[in-house]
Amino acid sequence: MQTILRPFAIKSSGDLARLGVMLALAGLILFGALRYDNFLSSFNILSFLRYNSMFALIALGMAFVIITGGIDLSVGGTAAMASVVAALFSPYHWAAGLLGGMVAGLAVGALNGFIITKMRIQPFIATLATMLAAYGTGLLLADNQSVSVSYDTGFTVIGQDDFLGFPIPAWIALAAYVLGWLVLEKLPVGRHILAIGDGEATAGLMGLKVERTLAAVYLASGTLAGLAGVILASQFGAGQPTEGVGWELFAIASVVVGGTLLTGGSGSVGATLAGALLLAMVFNILNFENGLGWISLSAYWQSVIRGAFLLVVVVLQAKLMARR
């Protein structure tokens, strides 16, 4: 019995916060299901998953970066640039578009890793610089406008079609999260990532390969942002050099709501997914609330409400952690 329950045992304050986000997500779903008629309709669920998979992918990469004690501000710019690259490659083959976008993201991630580990620049500064560079590159490649994708090579299938009744982007995100969970919980490198976040100097003294591991984490974050860009282009039929603004903040918020400490050394893949879904769910519920017709909230008000909700969650988490 004890062994079965072990994964659910609360061993640290972080676990408690992560439990909290799961409960909040469940509560919000229950609220929506009871209040709105079509909330649990397959249309709502499928479009919710289709759209939010992009953000979930970016949040996953961000979670790894933040667990190491770093930050990756370049993900939004990277996704925008990758969507352009994917659109430009899509006429040749659907896979060319997919790989093109991912390689574009990987390149930014590799650059981030190089600047941070070899040039020893703070992640905040390094990724701020690459964010600007990525947006600029995207606009240059797209000649300052959206780039239409090819509808002949099947590239749009990636973002728009379903597989076994679920949107393909959701399958991609699910696969990424399972892989991420495997890496963090089951592979030695995951434990090393956590230990590095706990203290880089200490990790080095324990014989861990700190630089290589950090570089790999930024590489992964960039690649996931690239993948999100591919889905963006495929879903909306165009590479969008001006999209992605603020995505990094959404990702950071998801990670934090998911109970990952910004100071590093603690975090969970599952709770990050819950955090991303929770924030997206607030949006979804606000849309439904507008649909009821009693109140009409502009996009600006929605933003304010989401911000307030984020604040409430984070404060509650801090309280929960302090109590232990």
Q: Which residues bind another protein (CB under 8 A)?
A: 6, 9, 11-12, 14, 182, 186-188, 191-192, 194-195, 198-199, 201-209, 265-266
CA atoms within 13 A of residue 226's CA, in its CB half-sphere: 22
Q: How far is the CB of 220 from another protein (least distance, A)?
A: 18
Roughly how many angstroms between the first and final C-alpha of the chain, as a whole number? 25
Nearest distance from C-beta of residue 199 to another protein, angstroms: 6
Size of the chain in residues: 324
Cα–Cα distances (Å) from 85 to 80, 81, 214, in that order, read 9, 6, 26
Q: Which is nearer to another protein, 88 or 194 (CB)?
A: 194
Q: Which is nearer to another protein, 96 or 189 (CB)?
A: 189
CB of 68 to another protein, least distance (A): 12
Which CB sits closer to another protein, 162 or 185?
185
In the three-class reduction of DSSP (H, G, I as helix; E, B as strand; rest coil), residue 110 is classed as helix
Amino acid identity at 218: Y
Give min distance, CB of 17 to another protein, in A.
13
Distance CA 294, CA 129 (A): 45
- Closer residue to another protein in complex, CB, 203/282: 203
Contact between 3 and 257 under an 8 Å Cβ cutoff? The reply is no
Least CB distance to another protein at residue 6 (A): 7
DSSP for 192-210 reads: HHHHHHH-HHHHHHTT--H
Query: Using N-to-C axis directions, what is the helix angle for 94-117 and 210-236, rounded to 10°?
Result: 150
